[in-house]
Amino acid sequence: MKILDTVTTFFQDNIAPPHKIISAKKNEEGWRVLVEVIEEKDYMRKYARDQMIGLYEVFLDDDHEVTGFSRVSLRYRSEIEETVEQ
């Protein structure tokens, strides 16, 4: 699926490799994708801390170009996941 490839490449190039793409939905403006990313993996490993998972919301237009993104939550990997739906 081209949307998933575009998001994966964008995160690898600009933020960090995606841990998991958990949602991809088409809407009137294009696409909304939710991506989990392991934040600062080396730092957390160095200080023997639980990994932090960032949840990012990404928007793509109908041409599959990323038009915006933001981190919507940050949690320890061991915490129970919360669903972010809007």
pLDDT in tens, 27-75: 999 999 999 999 876 655 666 567 889 999 999 999 999 999 999 998 8
Other C-beta atoms within 10 Å of 12: how many? 11
Distance CA 69, CA 47 (A): 29
For residue 76, pLDDT over 90 is answered with no
Per domain, the residue ranges of the chain are 2-76
For residue 84, pLDDT over 60 is answered with no
23 contacts 34 by C-beta, under 8 angstroms: yes
What is the structure's pLDDT at 80? 67
What is the structure's pLDDT at 77? 76
Distance CA 4, CA 86 (A): 20
Residue 10 has φ and ψ, to the nearest 5°, of -60, -45
